[in-house]
């Protein structure tokens, strides 16, 4: 009969096939370095904005993985306040959002501090300040006091996907986990982040919040790998994008009879590479936007033109720019839109797109 990975002797003696992960691991290291070069070329205001965007996305997406949708403005405002970043119109944040932000920033801003049981319980308390998970009362700031099953499906058609380590063994297993995490074992910190994520998920030590805390531990370990409290890519955003594969690989590797976690490391490294690539594109948009406005700092540009140009520079403009779309976005007349576009063409900022067909399309003259 098949056994869960933790039901085997010495189950935390994890192994992996070095030849299978080598190239992907090298790609991750390369992308890390490349992103650092791009970010270092961005001005301080833009770097601050990117940092704020990354932390906001990470907290929103980590909660979304668990099915909880948070208020974007409240999360962003809370992070800005905690980091001392000045932004217009800071929205007051709900108590549980403040707790999520405090947990995330404690992990990344104080990554050099050991992860103790007390600190871990503090994170859990920050996640559930009311002592409730939804409508259910849970044990907070302590390890679970009962058995844990991960169940999928609807009532009456439920399927047990995973039975966590027995409650009687949780304390012992967590002592071993924290001791390993806080000791330099000679493993690269990126791989250590991946192992820590999997190890914590297998133990599942809390009544709720295990996934979010696992990802927070991962972020802390990645900050340690980069020796930086600043984060310009969001692993949680990428995990959400690959959520189905994330759960599939966890479910597959939980049955490993020989503690081989190669498949998990391959997924983790691939996910991290994709997160870095996505951040590279976003950072290049920030860089180009900053360069554009530096170049045109003395060019007379009205607020309507500035709104459209920022949308084009940020790379999230839907479809092609036409005078009718310009008028709709800026809430102005078609004649005003045409005059604004003609003015930007004369200043060398926009140009007509070739082969536009019946409708004239415009693009940045880069």
What's the CATH number where 281 sits? 1.10.3290.10
Question: Is 293 among the domain residues?
Answer: no
Q: What is the CATH number of the domain that holds 307?
A: 1.10.10.10
Same domain, 184 and 261: yes
Residues 270 and 313 in one domain: no
Answer yes or no: is 43 within a domain: yes
Give the structural domain span for 131. 5-288
Residue 294 lies in a domain: no
Query: Quick check: 350 and 344 in contact, CB under 8 A?
Result: yes
Pair 326, 178 in one domain: no
- Count structural domains, the chain: 2
Predicted model pTM: 0.86
**Are 185 and 308 contained in the same domain?**
no
Exposure letters 44-79 (e unless 16+ CB within 10 A, then b):
eebbbbbbbbbbbbbbbbbbbbeeeebeeebbbbbb
Q: Which run of H or of E encompasses 136?
A: strand 136-137
Whether 323 is in a domain gets the answer: yes
Tell me, yes or no, whether 226 and 320 share the same domain.
Answer: no
Residues 51 and 172 in one domain: yes
β-pairing, 350-352 with 362-364? antiparallel
Kindly give the confidence (pLDDT) of every residue in the chain, 366 residues in length, as a single tens digit, with 9 standing for 90 and above: 689 999 999 999 999 999 999 999 999 999 999 999 988 888 788 888 889 989 999 999 999 999 999 999 999 999 999 999 877 567 788 999 999 999 999 999 999 999 999 999 999 999 999 999 989 999 999 999 999 998 877 666 778 889 999 999 999 999 999 999 999 989 999 999 999 999 999 999 999 999 999 999 999 999 999 999 998 999 999 999 999 999 999 999 999 999 999 999 999 999 999 999 999 988 888 888 888 988 999 999 999 999 999 989 877 788 899 999 999 999 999 999 999 999 999 999 999 988 655 679 999 987
Same domain, 335 and 209: no
**143 and 10, same domain (yes or no):** yes
């Amino acid at each position: 009969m098949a056994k869960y990975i933790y039901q085997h002797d010495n189950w935390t003696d994890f192994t992996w096939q070095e030849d299978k992960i080598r190239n992907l691991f090298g790609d991750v290291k390369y992308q890390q370095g490349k992103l650092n070069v791009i970010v270092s070329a961005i001005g301080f205001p833009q770097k601050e904005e990117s940092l704020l965007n990354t932390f906001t996305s990470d907290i929103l997406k980590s909660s979304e993985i668990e099915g909880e949708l948070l208020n974007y403005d409240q999360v962003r405002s809370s992070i800005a306040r905690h980091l001392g970043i000045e932004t217009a119109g800071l929205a007051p944040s709900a108590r549980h959002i403040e707790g999520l932000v405090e947990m995330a920033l404690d992990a990344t801003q104080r990554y050099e501090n050991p992860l103790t049981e007390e600190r871990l319980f503090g994170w859990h308390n920050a996640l559930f300040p009311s002592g409730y998970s939804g409508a259910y009362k849970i044990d907070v700031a302590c390890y679970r006091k009962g058995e844990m099953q991960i169940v999928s499906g609807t009532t009456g058609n439920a399927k047990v996907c995973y039975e966590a380590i027995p409650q009687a063994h949780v304390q012992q297993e967590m002592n071993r986990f924290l001791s390993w995490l806080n000791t330099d074992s000679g493993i690269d910190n990126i791989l250590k982040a991946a192992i820590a994520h999997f190890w914590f998920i297998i133990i599942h030590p809390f009544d709720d919040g295990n996934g979010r805390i696992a990802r927070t531990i991962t972020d802390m370990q990645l900050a340690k790998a980069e020796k930086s409290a600043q984060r310009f890519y969001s692993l949680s955003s990428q995990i959400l994008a690959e959520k189905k594969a994330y759960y599939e690989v966890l479910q597959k590797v939980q049955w490993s009879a020989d503690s081989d976690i190669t498949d998990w490391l391959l997924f983790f490294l691939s996910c991290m590479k994709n997160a870095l690539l996505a951040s590279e594109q976003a950072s290049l948009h920030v860089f180009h936007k900053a360069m554009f406005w530096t170049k045109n700092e003395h060019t007379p540009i009205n607020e309507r033109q500035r709104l459209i140009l920022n949308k084009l520079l940020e790379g999230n403009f839907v479809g092609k720019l036409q005078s009718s779309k310009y008028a709709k976005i800026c809430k102005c007349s078609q004649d005003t839109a045409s005059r604004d576009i003609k003015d930007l063409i004369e200043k060398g900022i926009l140009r007509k797109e070739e082969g536009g067909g019946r409708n004239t399309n415009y693009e940045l003259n880069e």
